[in-house]
Amino acid sequence: MKSILYKLSFFTLIFLFSFNGFAQDFQGKAYYFSKSKMELGAWGARLSEAQKKQIQERLKNRLEKTYILNFNREESVFDEEEKLDAWSGATDSWGKNFSPGKSYKNIKDNALVQSQEFYGKKFLVKDKLLALEWKMGTESKQIGQYTCFKATTVVPTSELTWYNFSWGDLRRTEQKEEGSEDTKTNEPDIKLTQIEAWFTPQIPVGHGPGEYWGLPGLILEVSAGNTIMLCSKIIMNPEEKIKIEAPEKGKLTTKSEYQSIVQGKMREMRDNRGRRRSR
């Protein structure tokens, strides 16, 4: 118990010391590089190494991304830097349907506003921030010029990927709708994702990349599932004033409603494809 209180006091002192060193209206810009491991499952086991390498190159734009986080004390906007596809020279329009859009977080109001585009239709998702119960670790390390401390948590995987789509999730939804005996007697376990974050109290804000927030300092590195995000550059109080505003365009919805819309559209596409094949 004493060690836990000591850790909390230690982080609090660092936070307060750093907080007093910043002007009330400070702003910051952080650049992140994200890299995901390719998972091909049982199908991938039948491929040669050359084929796997070719697929990895083709999917590079989805596996490696860069983002910018603009922030002040209470608000932040996180958005992807758009890149051209290495093969076609065009943007990845298919992958964009299942990627996170521009995300605004207000930690004071516990509010998320995220723009999403799905098959040409714009949506504005308004919801609460992801609930994260962080556990402080004892380790520390240097990321660039910043001393960072470790924190971990566990969340349901579906809460991290609500903007994405899975045929498995659709099958489970349909089983529940049909009252399948399997779902009645053998409910599937909730899939969880372990999250490891490194934050620096030297920048005393509760922001972080993507869904992540709520630590006593800016999150500079996050590992979750098969993805790692690492901050590569930070600019404090840039000369050009940053506009930190929530997106406004799109059909208003929530996370759960958006998931239902995506599943409905994908189910419709599957059924239409099946009808065409049966003709």
Tokens 């796997």 sit on residue: 52
Residues 6+ apart with CB under 8 A from 243: none
The pLDDT, as a whole number, for residue 268 is 82
Residue 164's pLDDT band, with cuts at 50, 70 and 90, is confident
The pLDDT, as a whole number, for residue 1 is 40
Residue 269's pLDDT band, with cuts at 50, 70 and 90, is confident
- Specify the length of the chain in residues: 279
Average pLDDT over residues 182-206: 81
Residue 188 has pLDDT above 50, yes or no: yes
Would you say the pTM of this structure is higher than 0.85?
Answer: no
Of 202 and 272, the one with more pLDDT: 202
Q: SS3 of 49, please? A: helix
Tokens 């404090």 sit on residue: 236
Count CB-CB contacts under 10 A for residue 144: 13
Average pLDDT over residues 170-196: 68
Share of the chain above pLDDT 90, in %: 49
The answer to whether residues 220 and 200 touch, using CB atoms and an 8 Å cutoff, is yes
Residue of 269, 265, 263 whose CA lies nearest to 172: 263
Residue 2 has pLDDT above 90, yes or no: no
The mean predicted confidence, pLDDT, of the chain is: 80
Average pLDDT over residues 101-106: 96
Both tokens of 261, joined, read 């819309």
Q: Highest mean pLDDT: which of 39-53, 96-110, 261-275? A: 96-110
Amino acid at 243: K
Residue of 173, 215, 182, 183 whose CA lies nearest to 197: 215
Both tokens of 1, joined, read 């118990």
Average pLDDT over residues 177-206: 78
User: Residues 228-249: pLDDT tens digits?
Assistant: 999 999 999 998 888 999 999 9
CA separation for the pair 37, 227 (Å, rounded): 7
The pLDDT, as a whole number, for residue 155 is 96
Alpha carbon distance, N-terminus to C-terminus of the chain: 70
